[in-house]
Structure 1
Amino acid sequence: MDRLFKLKENGTNVRTEIMAGITTFMTMAYILAVNPNILSAFGSGATGMDWMSVFLATAIAGGVMSIMMGLFVNFPVALAPGMGLNAYFATVVLSSQGQFTYQMALTAVFISGIIFIILTVTRVRQMLLVAVPDSLKHAITVGIGLFITIIGLKNSGLMTIAVEASNDIAKGKYTDLLSFESVIHIGSMHDKNVILAVIGLLLISALMVMRVRGAILFGILLTTVVGAFMGMVNFGSLTDPQTTWVPDLGKLNFAAFDFAGILNAGIITVIATFTFVELFDTFGTLVGTANRAGMMKNKEEGNRRVGRAMFVDAIGVSGGALVGTSTVTAYVESSAGIAEGGRTGLTAVTTGVCFLLALFLAPIAALIPGSATAAALIVVGVLMMQSVREIDFSDLVHAIPAFLTITFMPFTYNIANGISFGIVSYVILATVANMSGKGEHKVHWLMWILALLIVARYIFLVE
């Protein structure tokens, strides 16, 4: 193990790595239920996809690609079908009214993966590591931390969004700004989900303050026990026919592609969207988690490992489509395992093994309440916020793009939006500062290309 994963060199051991891998899995396990629900249009099969087939694809893709990341890159980051793009996948199919089938959508994902492989082999994606300034890299880490926190707050019910609209707004008469108000509220303290999330947050926080090894994992397990006494654990999953103990691999939508059908289905826009969002989501996740794991202290070695991780991620996109699921990507929840001390590929391998075991233990994996994992995500957000001290806020050329990156990620609920606004604003402000003689800020040529692509994307692809 030490020779394979260089444990001593990274200041870790087998126990720590395995605990970290299990922790990562526990915070990612929700995707095993959420992804099948979304891609099958919440179990109704409205997209044409079967719940169990997507569940199997999710577990297999997450397991195989996480193990590949661990073995070939020695990187403590796990992969699985990503949130956001799975919703876009389902929306494209549902909104087309039968004109765009799930087979066509899987084909679009597969093609976007091929594009990523080409971009990675030609080292275009790796150049991002050199082109993007350090201030934005740290801002990405902080932004992802807040993004993870928002996910935890939203999933637990601790945060709700109330939308109040007047009759004028309902009729499309946007004449009075005060007549429309979208407000973020705290969840009801009479809601059992919220209560359990608060208990979980306190348990995990207390264990971390006490410096208990595996605090996040033990906190999740203890919260699940508390949830059982509160009646919040659904033991019905043990007998639910949807969560069978023995997987039927014959239900997989393996290589369910429709290359002929996509020629007349407006496929270019769909592929472009999958490619663009995944490009920045993955970049942000890998850089953010690498920073959190301390791998970017040696920039040359850190960039090299992130570059190899990008190649595995690219294979994962097409590989996921091959077994029948939406875009597979590196998971920001890997930060939970890194926070538990995960520093090598053994963490990712452990997570991958857990995903494969979930094929046979789906009823047990379904027992863990969402409030338990949501609490863990909130705590991880605290840990990732630490990178904010690395940003020089006295230099506004760096401060403003960093601020926009940090705020746009959680508030627009999209990692790519935060990175996009950060890149465009940095290019503009650095250029203005250089031209006015108010500073000398390097703008890599790739940053110009990215800025132009981003502007084009928001003009032509985003409504």
Structure 2
Amino acid sequence: MERFFKLKELGSNVRTEIMAGITTFMTMAYILSVNPNTLTAFGSGATGGEWYPVFLATALAAGIFTIAMGLFVNFPVALAPGMGLNAYFASVILSSSATGHPVTFEIALTAVFISGLIFILLTVTHIRQMLLVAVPDGLKHAITVGIGLFITIIGLKNSGLLTVGVEALNDIPKGKFTDVAFFETIFHMGSLDNPGVQLALIGLFLIGVLMVLRVKGAILFGILGTTLIGMLLGSNYVPTTINTADTPWIPNLSELQFMNFDWEGVLSTGLISIVATFTFVELFDTFGTLVGTANRTGVMKDEQKGKKIVGKAMLVDAVAVTGGAMLGTSTTTAYIESAAGVAAGGRSGLTSVTTGVLFLLALFLAPIVALIPGSATAAALIIVGLLMMQAVKAIDFEDYTIAIPAFLTIVFMPFTYNIANGISLGIFSYVILATAANVFGKGKYKVHWLMWLLAILIVLRYAFIGSQG
């Protein structure tokens, strides 16, 4: 084992690697409950997905592809269905349900599968690396922050802490507008009498205290602690009946929705924008995670070796996107929580293999995971949003050529409830502002030709598809 994973060369040992793998698992195991709850609804089956099949897909995708990362790349990075992209997956289905071209769960899975094929092609041809160079760092960080706010709003809505209502305006303009009904969307704080809201607040502060005390796996322990507290408070907070027929202790892989695609639906719905969003967001999310982890392990000290490892890791990540979709879950991607394992001493793929095995063993814990209420996972989503917000520190807000596109990227994601809108406005505004600054001698900003191409595609998208396409 030491020879296979090159532990002596990396300055590590079996015990350290296994403990690091356990640490990584503890910090990201929350996805086992959060992902099924997110993809199935924000409620029971509203998106068309079912809880147990999504749970199976989540555990299998995380286990299989994290082990693959360890065995084929010898790199301490874990993969699982990504936060933000799973929320976008569900929001696409829910927002399209009332339109003439509803996107079903199967169609959305097909879109993820297509984006994975695109990733494989971009990675093999090295275009993926070129795209990463084209987009300025400020926008990359802004995308992370915007997704963090997007996740936060979803957590607030799921918990009931935030409600959205549509109210008629009292002062309706006179004249030609008298026959028009004017409305505004109002955000309200949820009722504190609601047991779900109370439990979400308990979970939020419990996770917060654990993080302040620097407890490893604070999010996971917070979710479990919140569930236990809810069970003690009564069935109004957590239903305590385990239905082993729906969530068996022994994994029932026949329930897995393998290759649950709808190609005919894709052709009739028009998913260009959705596929582009999955592809674009995953592109930068993965890059930041892999490079950040590589820096922490010290791999990037040898630049050529570091690039080779990151390149191989990108290929595993791309295959994981398609593989996860085939299993029945949203985009599977590298997790920044892998840094916890690295901080615990993980340096090799043995860390990843350990984490992956634990995810596979979690298949036998479905009834326990099923008990976790939406209020507990909603609290976790809010905290994950906080963690992603930390990237805002890396944005230079004194340079308006970067600050304005970054700001538009950040605010348009949560406020329009659409990740694609934020990315699109950020890219388009950067091309315009950077070009203006260069022309009038107010700076020297690099505007890669791919950024121009993306800007043109964005204009065409809004011209022919619209903001909700």
Q: How many residues align?
A: 446
> What is the aligned partner in structure 1 of residue 219 from structure 2?
216
Cα deviations by residue, 1:209-253 (Å, 9 ceiling, x for unpaired) = 2333333333233222212212223222x2252212233333444
> What is the aligned partner in structure 2 of residue 79 from structure 1?
80
SS in 2 for 1:359: helix
CA distance in 2, matches of 1:129, 1:97: 33
Task: Supply the RMSD in Å over aligned alpha carbons.
Answer: 4.1
Asked if 1:319 corresponds to 2:319, the answer is no
Cα deviations by residue, 1:69-127 (Å, 9 ceiling, x for unpaired) = 454453535222733235546887997799x9877765555444323321221122222
Give how far 1:164 is off.
1.4
> What is the aligned partner in structure 2 of residue 233 from structure 1?
238
Asked if 1:182 corresponds to 2:178, the answer is no
Q: Which runs of 5+ in 1 are unaligned?
A: none
CA distance in 2, matches of 1:174, 1:336: 53
> What is the aligned partner in structure 2 of residue 330 from structure 1?
333
CA distance in 2, matches of 1:141, 1:33: 22
> What is the aligned partner in structure 2 of residue 445 from structure 1?
449
Alignment of 1:25-424 (within 5 A): 25-36=29-40, 42-43=44-45, 52-73=52-73, 74=75, 76-80=77-81, 82-86=86-90, 88=92, 109-165=112-168, 179-231=182-234, 232-236=237-241, 238-255=242-259, 262=264, 267=267, 270-289=270-289, 295=295, 307-323=311-327, 325=328, 327-330=330-333, 334-335=335-336, 338=339, 341=343, 349=353, 352-424=356-428
SS in 2 for 1:84: helix
Give how far 1:37 is off.
5.4
User: For structure 1, which segment, 61-70 or 193-202, has the greater mean C-alpha deviation from structure 2 after superposition?
Assistant: 61-70
Tell me if the contact between 1:110 and 1:317 (Cα under 8 Å) persists in the aligned partners: yes
SS in 1 for 2:270: helix
CA distance in 2, matches of 1:185, 1:291: 40
SS in 2 for 1:247: coil
TM-score, length basis structure 1: 0.79
Sort the Cα spacing of 1:97 and 1:399 in 2 relative to 1 into closer, same or farther, 3 A.
closer
SS in 2 for 1:196: helix
User: For structure 1, which segment, 240-249 or 225-234, has the greater mean C-alpha deviation from structure 2 after superposition?
Assistant: 240-249
Give how far 1:383 is off.
3.5
Sort the Cα spacing of 1:308 and 1:97 in 2 relative to 1 into closer, same or farther, 3 A.
same
Tell me if the contact between 1:337 and 1:347 (Cα under 8 Å) persists in the aligned partners: no
SS in 2 for 1:233: coil
**What percentage of residue pairs aligned between the two structures are identical?**
52
Give how far 1:307 is off.
4.5
Cα deviations by residue, 1:24-78 (Å, 9 ceiling, x for unpaired) = 121452222443558xx9448x96x776555544443343234334544535352
CA distance in 2, matches of 1:366, 1:5: 39
TM-score, length basis structure 2: 0.79
CA distance in 2, matches of 1:218, 1:72: 31
Tell me if the contact between 1:138 and 1:390 (Cα under 8 Å) persists in the aligned partners: yes
Q: Which runs of 5+ in 2 are unaligned?
A: none
Equivalent residue letter for 1:154: K
User: For structure 1, which segment, 279-288 or 392-401, has the greater mean C-alpha deviation from structure 2 after superposition?
Assistant: 279-288
SS in 2 for 1:441: coil
Equivalent residue letter for 2:165: A
Sort the Cα spacing of 1:230 and 1:349 in 2 relative to 1 into closer, same or farther, 3 A.
farther
CA distance in 2, matches of 1:339, 1:374: 22
Cα deviations by residue, 1:410-458 (Å, 9 ceiling, x for unpaired) = 2233333322221111111000110111111111111111222222222
Sort the Cα spacing of 1:96 and 1:144 in 2 relative to 1 into closer, same or farther, 3 A.
closer
User: For structure 1, which segment, 295-304 or 140-149, has the greater mean C-alpha deviation from structure 2 after superposition?
Assistant: 295-304
Tell me if the contact between 1:141 and 1:288 (Cα under 8 Å) persists in the aligned partners: no
Sort the Cα spacing of 1:101 and 1:18 in 2 relative to 1 into closer, same or farther, 3 A.
closer
Asked if 1:431 corresponds to 2:435, the answer is yes
User: For structure 1, which segment, 139-148 or 340-349, has the greater mean C-alpha deviation from structure 2 after superposition?
Assistant: 340-349
User: For structure 1, which segment, 24-33 or 65-74, has the greater mean C-alpha deviation from structure 2 after superposition?
Assistant: 65-74
Tell me if the contact between 1:203 and 1:223 (Cα under 8 Å) persists in the aligned partners: yes
